[in-house]
Amino acid sequence: MSRDRGLDNELTVDVTEGPAGVVLAIGGDLDFDNSPELRSVIGRLALSPGRLLVLDLSGLTFFDSSGITMLVIARKVALAAGADVAVSGVGPMVAKIFHITGLDMVFRSYPDPSAAFAAAAQN
């Protein structure tokens, strides 16, 4: 697939707000050059105590240390607002990076956003 072979894929950021929280879907390539766009989106999310931020990474084709930083920042923003955070749609490449960086110990991971919200509702 040409997407996997490393041609540049534009970053896509989609915010879906719902009753239980926010889904931030990040797709394409996330690297140092375009991470400021994502950062400004994160700063404007509607998070508050009891809500859940789900970072949906199913569309990610590439991310490096800047991408890691964005996830860590999103988590800080959520926790500072009293909200919870989880990731979903972690594919093999992202899983590998999570494993290397030890972030698999930090983020709860689900197959998709609805599973994340379901788990949160049970608590």
Partner 1 sequence: MIPHSTTHHTLPGLRNALRRLAHQLRLPVELRARLALAVSQVAAGELGAGRAVSLHACRETDPDTGRPVLAIRLRTPLAPRPPALRNLPLPAERTPGAAALWRLPPPDQEQNDVHVQTPTVADNGRGPDVADLLEEELRAAVARADALAQDRERLKDELAETNSGVLALYVQLDERDEQLRRAHGQMLRELEDALRPAPVRVPGLEMAVHYEPAGTDAPTGGDLYDWFLLPDGRVHITLVDALGHGVTSTRSALNVTHAVRTLALEGHPMDSIVERTDEILLPFDRELMATVLLARINPRSGALKLANGSHPPALLVRENGEAEYLEVRGRGIGYPLPGSEQVLYDQLAPGDLLVLYTDGLTESRRDPREGEQRLLEAARRHRHLPIEKIPGAIAADMHTVILHPDDTVALTVRRTHEDVS
Residue 101 binding partner 1, by CB under 8 A = yes
- Considering the complex, state which of residue 63 and residue 110 has its C-beta at the smaller distance from partner 1: 63
Alpha-carbon span 117 to 20, nearest angstrom: 7
When asked if residue 81 is in the footprint of partner 1 (CB under 8 A), the reply is no
The nearest distance, CB 18 to partner 1, in angstroms, is 25
β-strand 12-17 against 21-30: which pairing, if any?
Answer: antiparallel
CA 13, CA 72: separation in Å to the nearest integer?
A: 16
How many whole angstroms separate alpha carbon 52 and alpha carbon 48? 8
Size of the site for partner 1 (CB under 8 A): 22
Residues binding partner 1 (CB under 8 A): 4, 6, 31-32, 62, 64-66, 68-69, 72, 75, 92-93, 96-97, 100-103, 105-106
